[in-house]
Structure 1
């Protein structure tokens, strides 16, 4: 099962059509990824679901944001415009890593449009003031891409996203191939957004049922960080916390069945 490729305004996205009246799931990829990375999930999701994965601004065929240092709210505004064009009023929303910063910012601002939110392998952000000195981690991302080029950048970073990479070469290759598609200026803009991100602040403001899932062996966004995000959610919006054994940061590639189960739980919320 595969996605169909589309463009709506300034956003390129992938879609698997569902049934009329069925749930609509929108998925937001991480900083070193893209919409196509969600393909392994399709065979594990109900066939009546309409599944949409966007390429964030500056990724794939999506036009970068104008700001040199965009904030999570800027990406959330782009997401709102995108969903408006598709005439989607209420969706199930799932973010992975950097996509959690976008998803939480969107859900905090537009709670009436999100049925339920999944934060997977959540990036908390570095809390750097916009326009200030970049965090070391964000600067290293930009420097590595500019110095090594996309292929070298991906070869350096991809194995770290997979638990026991030496035993999972196909998953590493899949992650590496997706990461090698990042480009300028989209990736540096996303890295700056990561630097200024403050997921905990948005988590505290959320008034949308929200679940958190993380790989037990994630060294990029460790389980302790995911627990912090989950603990910041307020009652009654705090949903399930799921720790997936045998998985690293590339959670939905390494454990698609467990990830799909977390997505399926989103549709249990009615309203």
Structure 2
């Protein structure tokens, strides 16, 4: 038992080392690792009020965020993995569970629940955009559960969507084996100016008008093997600018 206690203490010590400084009620992770040795912040189920990652080559694993300030987790860096973390009922701001900005990101096996659109928020499970932030590329979102989400499970906007800064591109997203439950928004996944997205093996629960939207030159998308609740009338909507390179079920509605 003593050995187990020491092991748990050692794990938490990594998470709350000087490089994991509390920024108000949030955990602010600023020290990264290397390609050979990423810096691992292991929570062991520890509760925190939010997490900000501002570093490269980082793994964030196993935290609990109950009613954190929104976004529950914000990632700004490259080669960052967020996994095995539970985010419940983010508060304030736009109400998002996770926001991410950077390249070579992995968001896997997390549970995000009860985002709320109250007070005019657009509370997504996950969101990325490129206006005052860098575009995101080579992103893997796999095995997550987005439960009781008022807005979208994923809102992804590139830099050339009309609201971005026009710098660079947002490309190469893998959206795989996620559970997505949207309560209010018209679609579960929305891509604007995001190229080369692969959407496969996801389960789309009841709620939206359509499961997937591709718009504003979101070209090269591949959609296959998703499970769509019978109450959702359209699996995929697409605009003319996004049809180039598309492979998947026949689009049946607007995005």
The two structures have a TM-score, normalised by structure 2, of 0.33
Greater RCO structure (CA 8 Å; 6+ sep) = 1
Bigger share in strand: 2
Q: What is the TM-score with the length of structure 1 in the denominator?
A: 0.32
Q: Which has the higher helix share?
A: 1
The structure with the larger Rg is 2
